[in-house]
Every structure is written in C-alpha cells, then in structure tokens.
Structure 1
Amino acid sequence: MSKKKTFYVQENETIDECLERMKREGYMPVRRMEKPLFEERKENGETIHVPIGREIVFEGKIMT
C-alpha cells in the first residue's frame, strides 16, 4: 500500500462521504486543496473565463 494517496471529492459525494471513504481505505487526511474550475466563453469577440465550480482534493497519509 502506498504511504500517500490523493482523494477527489466526486461530483455526487459530500466531503464527509469522501473522508469516510479515505478512512475505509486506511488513510487519514493531512491536506485539503481546492481548485477553481473555469469554462471559456466567447462574448463580444473576446474569450472570457467564467467560474463554474471547484474541485476539492484531499491528500491522505496511511494510518499506522
């Protein structure tokens, strides 16, 4: 088993459900990261970036 693993909060999953999944696999969270998600759109001949959501990622460390 790897000492570190990355867990992504899935589209239809809560943060608590993701943390529970980590625990079942034997990992505990050591870091939380959020990344904004953007979509490119053209308006008036210009390309603009519109925020459409965020991606939440946990880094897990194996429990000893």
Structure 2
Amino acid sequence: MGRGGHSGRPRRFAWGTYRRRNTIERCFNRLKGFRVIATRYEKTATSHEAAAALASFVLWAG
C-alpha cells in the first residue's frame, strides 16, 4: 500500500503546521474546561466574547 494519494494521507507532512495546529487545539480544549464557555450561557455575542477573553487571560496568567 502506498502512502498519499488514495490512502488519505498527504505525501509530505508539515511538522511546523501540525505543531501550531496542536497548540491551538489544546488551547480550545482548555477553554472548554470553563463551563460558561463550553455551554454558552450568555445571550449576546459580546458577553460570550468577553467571557472567552477572561477565560483566555486566566489560562495565560496561570
């Protein structure tokens, strides 16, 4: 079985792109640990964005 093409995997693997994507995905998973972000209790987009910014700051500071 060959790699790439019909097997679904790319012929070349971009390690730098994967590393950045992995960092972003881990960040989103940590943000989902905040219940208010995961369930979206806020009614307005502005309130939800503010809650996400606050949760991001807490993760960054901690």
Do they superpose with TM above 0.5? no
Which structure has more relative contact order (CA 8 Å, sep 6+)? It is 1
Name the larger-Rg structure: 2
Larger proportion of strand: 1
TM-score (norm 1): 0.29
TM-score (norm 2): 0.29
